[in-house]
A and B are shown apart, each in its own frame.
Chain A
Amino acid sequence: MINRRNFLTTVALGTASAAFLSACGQSSSSSKTGSAENPVTITYTWWGNDDRAERTRKAIALFESKNPDVKVNGNFTDFAGYWQKRATEAAGGGLPDVMQWDLSYLRDYGQRNQLLDLGTVKINTDAFDKSLLPSGQIRGKTYGIPTSTNAFAVYYDPAKLKAMGIAEPDGTWNYKEFNSFLAEVGQKGNGTLFGGTDYTGVWWMFNIWLRQNNIQAFTDEGKLGFSKDDLKKWWNTTAQLRGTSAIVGEDKTTQLLPKSPFGSNVTATEVTWDNFMAGYLGDSGAKELKLVPVPSDNSDNLGLFLKPSMLMVASAKTKYKDAAARFIDFMVNDPEVGQIFKTSRGVPASKTQRDGTTFEGTDKLVVDYEKSIEKYLKDAPEPPIVGFGTLESSFKRVSSDLNYGKLTIDGAADAWFKEAEDLIKQNA
C-alpha cells in the first residue's frame, strides 16, 4: 500500500536523480616528440562527406608512412555540427591538434588566441601565391594556411538537361535569364526534378551580387556595408519563383539533409563553390557535371573572386607543435596529397602541389573553370567579421522561413537585420 510520507520521499529522490548531470573530462600525455618505436599521436578533424573522408584517410596513411614517428587520429562531421563541436572543445581547452578550417570562423578563434601562430613553426609557404596568404593572417599573425582556392559557380547536370531537351547554358546570363532557365527546368521536370534551390538564400551569392553592384558587404569598421533595402531587393529577385517548380521546396530540402538537393538528383542546378564537384559526383552518381559563371546584370562585373576554400590550422594548446606543423606542411605542399584530393578541396593553392597533380575529367573542369573566369576575378572579399559564421547560418535560416512562407520579404529583412545588429553590438 502507498503511504504519504514514504511516497513523497521517493518522489523527492526521484526528482533529484532526474536532475543528475554528467560531464566528461579529458586526459593528455606529456611527451612532445616521438620516435618510430614510440610515435606521438596527433588528432586531426575535418568536415565533409564520405568522399572526402576516404581521400583524407589515404592522405593520413601516406603521411604516417613517411613520418613513422607520428600517428594521426582522424575524425570528421558535417559542416554545421563541426562548429558546435569546436566551440565545446575550445571552451574545455581541448581543441584537436590540427584542424581543417573555414575563413568564416578564422577571426572568432584566431583573435581569441585559440589557434597556433603558424609563423612560429616550420611550414614552407614558398610555393604560395603571395596575394592568397594574407587571407589566413590576422594582425600580422598567421593562423591558417590555405589548402586550395575555390570560386562561385553554377553547376548543372548535362544529362538531365538533355533528357528534357533543354540547351546547355553558356554562363553569359543575367538574373532574368537565369530565372527563366530555372523555371523551364522546373516545368519540364514534371514535379520530380526542380530547377534549383533558392539561390537568394546563399550568403556568398548575395555577397557576389553586392559586389556586382559595387557594394561592400562589411565596412572596414566591421559594420554592415549594405542597407535593408539592398537585402529586400535581393530576396525579391526570386520572388516570382518561390513556391513554383523552379525552386525545390524547403520541405524537400529539409528531409534530404545532410545531403543537398543537387547531390540527391532532385534539382538540375546548384549555385555554390566549384570545389563541391567531387562531393556532388559522389552523392548523385552523375557521370558528368558542368560549371558556368554565376548570373550578373553587368556582364563586365561578375563579382567573382578566389577564396581559400579551406585552411589548415593548429590548436594554440597543442603539445606536438612540430608534428602538427609537419602534418600541415604535408597536407598543403605534398604533390601526392594533391593527387589524392584532386579538386575536392578546391584547386591546390601551393604551386608544388598544383604542378604535381594531374587534372583529368571533372577535375580538369574545375581547374579550367577557374582559368576561364580569371579576367573577371577581383580581390578576395574583406575578411569576415567576428561572428560571421552565425550571420551566415542565420541568413540561411531566415531565407528558409521566407521559402516556407512563414515570413514576408520585409519581415525576413527585419528579422535578419535585428539579429545581425545585435550580434555586431555583442562582439564589438
Chain B
Amino acid sequence: MTQSPTLSRRSQSTAPLQQRPSRRRGADARAGYTFLLPWLLGFIALTVGPMISSLYLSFTNYNLFDPPKWIGLDNYATLFQDERFLQSVGVTLSYVVFGTPLKLAAALAIAMLLNSKRKGQGFYRSAFYAPSLIGASVSIAIVWKAMFGDSGPVDEGLSFFGINLGGWVGNPSMTMPMMILLTVWQFGAPMVIFLAGLKQIPADLYEAASMDGAGPVRKFFNITWPMLSPVIFFNLLMETIHAFQIFASAYIISNGEGGPAGSTLFYTLYLYLRGFSDFRMGYASAMAWLLVIVVGIITLIFFKTSKSWVHYSGDSK
C-alpha cells in the first residue's frame, strides 16, 4: 500500500526542513500551490461551484428554463409525503444493506485464495479483477439484462435444476437479487486492496499460531481479521458510499424508468428522473443534498464505531 513510502519520505524530510530559512519555505509553498492550481481550479469550478448552486436551488422551484423561485424548505417537506421518494429510499437501503457486505465477503474470500503462493497467481489476480473493470460499463448492464431475461442463460440454467423463476428482469421481486449479484460480481477493487492488506500481515504471526496449534478458523478470527481491520474498514466505507450512488446499471436495466413496478427505482435514478424528466431541478437538488447529509452521517457513525473494532499497529493496546 502507499502508506509506507509516504511515511518514510516525511520522516526523512522533517529534520532538514526545520533548519531551512522561512523564505525558502514560502517559496516551497508557492511552488506547491502552483502545481496544485490546475486541480484546484477544476475542483472549484466543477465541484464546489455546482454544489453551492445546487444547495441554493434546493430551496427553490426551478424548471431549468424559468428563473428559480424561492420556496424555502418546501422541497424538503414534500419529499417525505412523496411515495415514490420513500420507495426509492427503501430500494436503495436494501441494496446497500445486502449488497455491500456480500460484495466485501466475496472480495475478502477471493483475496485470501489469491494470497497463497501458487503458480500463475498473476493470471488469476488479473482474471478476477477484470469484472470490476468492465462491470460498471454500459455494455455489461445490457449483457446482464439479456442473461436474466426469459429463456436467458440464467433462467435456462436454473430450469435445468428444476427451479423455474422465469425471467428476472421483468419480475419485481427478482430485480433486487439481480442488481446485488451484479455488484457482488464486481468485487475486484476491494479485492486488490484486501490482497495488499493481507500481504502486510507478518507471516511469523501465523507461524507462531500454528506452533500453538491454532486451526485456520482461529487464525482468521484472531490474526487476519484484527490485522486487516483498517483495510476492512476502508473498504466498507468506500463500498457503502459507492452503493448509495448506484445509477448507471439501474438506469440501463430498467430503461431509465426504475421499473418493473418501481423495484429498481434507486435514489439517484429517481433524483435524475425528477430533474431531467419532470424538470423539477429544485426538488432534485433537495434530494441530492439529503443524500449528501445522510451519507455524511453514516460515514461519521462508521468512524465513531471503528474505534471499537479497528486495530492499528501503531496503537499500544
A residues with a Cβ closer than 8 A to B are: 1-7, 10-11, 14-15, 18-23, 80-81, 83-84, 87-88, 90-91, 108-109, 112-114, 249-255, 257-258, 387, 389-390, 393, 397, 400-401, 404, 406, 415, 423, 426-427
| A384, chain B: closest CB distance, angstroms | 15
A87 to B64, CA, bound (A): 8
A252:B150 contact, CB within 8 angstroms: yes
Q: Which residue of A lies closest to B272 (CB)?
A: A84
A–B Cβ pairs within 8 angstroms, 23 of them:
A1-B200, A2-B200, A2-B231, A4-B314, A7-B230, A10-B3, A11-B233, A18-B241, A20-B47, A21-B46, A88-B276, A108-B279, A251-B166, A254-B169, A254-B255, A255-B150, A390-B277, A390-B278, A400-B259, A400-B261, A404-B172, A404-B260, A406-B172
Known: A2-B231, A251-B166, A415-B83. A84 touches B312 (CB 8 A): no
Number of contacting residues on B, CB 8 A? 53
A21:B47 contact, CB within 8 angstroms: yes
| B165, chain A: closest CB distance, angstroms | 11
A131 to B279, CA, bound (A): 31
B170:A87 contact, CB within 8 angstroms: no
B230:A2 contact, CB within 8 angstroms: yes
Q: Does B234 contact A (CB under 8 A)?
A: yes
Q: Using A15-B237, A406-B262 as known contacts, list a sample of 19 further A-B pairs with CB atoms less than 8 Å apart, ordered by residue number in A.
A: A2-B230, A3-B3, A4-B312, A4-B315, A7-B312, A10-B234, A15-B241, A20-B47, A21-B50, A80-B255, A80-B257, A91-B281, A112-B65, A114-B65, A254-B260, A255-B169, A397-B259, A404-B172, A404-B261
Contact with A along B299-317 (1 / 0, CB 8 A): 1000000000000111100
B234:A11 contact, CB within 8 angstroms: yes
| A189, chain B: closest CB distance, angstroms | 16
Known: A10-B2, A84-B277, A397-B259. A251 touches B200 (CB 8 A): no
Known: A2-B3, A22-B46, A254-B170. A87 touches B312 (CB 8 A): no
| A81, chain B: closest CB distance, angstroms | 6
For the complex, would chain B's binding face be called helix, strand, loop or mixed by DSSP majority? Answer: loop
Residue in B47, B259, B261, B312 with the greatest tally of chain A CB atoms within 10 Å: B261
Contact with A along B225-250 (1 / 0, CB 8 A): 00000110110011001100000000
What's the A-B contact tally at a CB cutoff of 8 Å? 130
Q: Which of B122-178 contact A (CB under 8 A)?
A: 145, 149-150, 166-167, 169-172
A397 to B261, CA, bound (A): 8
Q: Does B61 contact A (CB under 8 A)?
A: yes
A271 to B212, CA, bound (A): 77
| B163, chain A: closest CB distance, angstroms | 17
Residues of A within 8 A of B1 (CB): 2, 10
A112 to B67, CA, bound (A): 11
Residues of B within 8 A of A11 (CB): 233-234, 237
* Smallest CB-CB A-B distances: 4 pairs: A251-B170, A112-B65, A4-B312, A254-B170
A16 to B281, CA, bound (A): 25
Residues of A within 8 A of B241 (CB): 15, 18
Of the candidates A87, A114, A255, A423, the one whose C-beta lies within 8 Å of that of B276 is A87
A112:B61 contact, CB within 8 angstroms: no
Of the candidates B3, B46, B281, the one whose C-beta lies within 8 Å of that of A7 is B3
A423 to B277, CA, bound (A): 12
Residues of B within 8 A of A109 (CB): 65
Residues of B within 8 A of A257 (CB): 255
Of the candidates A2, A90, A258, the one whose C-beta lies within 8 Å of that of B64 is A90
Residues of A within 8 A of B234 (CB): 7, 10-11, 14
Q: Which residue of B lies closest to A258 (CB)?
A: B255
Q: Which residue of B lies closest to A25 (CB)?
A: B46
| B191, chain A: closest CB distance, angstroms | 16
Q: Which residue of B lies closest to A418 (CB)?
A: B83
A407 to B51, CA, bound (A): 38
Residues of B within 8 A of A427 (CB): 63
